[in-house]
Structures are given as C-alpha cells and as structure tokens.
Amino acid sequence: MADYKLAVIAIGGNSLILDDKPAIADQYHAVVATARHVADVIEDGWRILITHGNGPQVGYLLLRSEMANRYCGLHFLPLLNCVANTQGNIGFMIQLALGNELSRRGLSPKTVTIVTQVEVDPRDPKFLDPDKYIGGFYDGVEIEKIRRDNPAWMLREDSNRGFRRVVPSPKPIKILELDAIRSMLDNGYNVIGGGGGGIPVVKVGEEYHGVDAVIDKDLTSRLMANSLGADLFVISTGVDAVSVNFGTPRQEELTKISVGSLQKYMDEGQFPKGSMGPKIQAAMDFIRQGGREVIITSPANIGNAIRDGKGTHIFAQ
C-alpha cells in the first residue's frame, strides 16, 4: 500500500488548445494555465498521475504528414507514430510547465513523462467502425473540398459543431509500462503517462506490434487509475460540471450522483458518444472496479472541486 494519496487527472486534448489556436506557443500557454491548477492539488499533498488527450493535436500532425507526403514527397508518418509524437511533445510541455510551477512554490519539481504503450485486441470491432474524432472542425463550406482532397478520410458530424475526421478507437486492455509508472510514483515523482490514450499495440505470439488507432484517453486513464489503486480519478473537460438536458431550458448540473443514477441518464442518451459519453463510461467503470470517487470538472476548477466540492462528484451510492 502506497504511503501517499494518488489522484489520476485526465486532461482533455481540446483544453490544451485555447480559442482554436493550435500553434505550439499557444498550446504551451494553455498547458501553463492547466499546470497551475494541477500544482494546487500537489500542494495539498496529493501525488499526481497526469494523462492527456491528443485528438486535435494528432489530427493536425497526421494532416501535416499527409500534405508533406503529397506535395513534397516526404515520407508518410503513420497514425501510430503520430500518437507517439504527441505523447512526447505534449508530455514535455506538461513536464516543463508543471516542474517550473512547483519550483516557484518551493515544492519538489520531480516530474517525468513515460512513453506508454497500451495493448488492444486486434479483433476489437472498433477497427471496423471508426468513431474517434481527431483534428479540427470543418463547416459546410469546407467539407466538400476536404472530402474531394482526402477521399480515404471518414468524416462525421461532432455534437453539431461541424464535421471531423474519425479513426478506429479500440478499448485498452493492458498498460505495458504500468510497473515503471508505479515505480516513479513510489519514488516521489509526479508522472505524465498514457498520453493520447497510449500508443496502441497488439500481441502476436510473444511480440507486440503497433497498430493505427487512437485509444480514448478517458478509458485508458480509468484502467490506469484502477490498476494503480488511485484514491481519486479526475476527468478534466470543457465544462465546470456534467449537465443533463444540455443546451435546453431544462439543463441541470449534476453535483453529487451515484453510478446507478448516472447509468439511467446514460441509457436515456443524455451523453453523446463524441463528447461526454466516454467520460461518463470511464467514471462508472472506475467506481464499479473498486474506485471510490470520480470528479468531472474544468481544468480551472480542479482545485476547487477537490477542496470544496465543486464540479460533478460520482460515487458508488
């Protein structure tokens, strides 16, 4: 049993791109803001494992690779490697920003990023039914050109905000670097791991091989949280709290709720697959697999949610 309180904090990839500005400098500015809120939690005595999304970032990188290949003849970067690249890039920015913020507060800056492989089932039906959104949004004016220039892309409308590219998103089975992550936590480090849901690999005989997919980061975060016996699982998203009847006059924020009540809302179709759905499923799975508490809230509200009960808190009963 670890002698520290462990919180797994899952940060959404969209929250690392503010005002639709994907330049690296703008992304780092967003990371610095998020690091301040995470440092508040560390200052309160928690050890932290940070996971993060990469949907927009991996989409931009894949598009850049495809354009460079098409127009400049440069080698193509497969989706698998785009996931690995975003793990390193986003992990570095979080590691840098969080270490600096902790140092400013007179706290240990020990923070490390672990490139993380995650095993998936090669027979997962999601390989035949891609539904994971990546990249930016395209409106009605752009969509025909996008389809004409990229005939191999699969595009779907995302929560009435426009069309986005979709790719396979199999369920995570096993975190290959789990022991390394646990060792770093036990030795006083705050860890960034499982970035972008992890680099997807399948086992063939005694060997692992990479596959082109993007694993949902909330599902991987849930698996890591349960596997490490985390005391708390925090899912950071674009709203301060989960709501039902979202966007209607009957919208209602959920503050404290049981898994059973949450499941009823899920069955009603309250939480879309492309946005809140995976977060709710991950939260329920964490509790059902022995976890004690899940908080869903915005990055700026993380500290207030843990200290003062803000956000949505999910329990077994």
Provide the annotated active-site residues.
13-14, 132, 217, 279
Give the HSE-up count for residue 307: Cα atoms under 13 Å, Cβ half-sphere: 12
Q: Report CA torsion sign: 203, 208, 212, 216.
A: positive
Quote the distance between the C-alpha of residue 130 and its chain's center.
Answer: 18
The kind and range of the H/E element at 169 are: none
Q: CB–CB of 215/196 below 8 Å?
A: yes
- The per-type count for the chain, helices as H runs and strands as E runs, is 9, 17
Tokens of 162: 């426009």
- Cα separation, 190 vs 200, whole angstroms: 23
* Cβ neighbours of residue 6 closer than 8 Å, sequence gap 6 or more: 46, 47, 48, 49, 185, 228, 229, 230, 231, 232
- Cα separation, 155 vs 145, whole angstroms: 12
Pairing mode, strands 312-315 and 172-175: unpaired
- Cα separation, 283 vs 139, whole angstroms: 32
- Cα separation, 304 vs 311, whole angstroms: 8
Query: Cα Rg for the chain, rounded, in angstroms?
Result: 19
- Cα separation, 289 vs 294, whole angstroms: 12
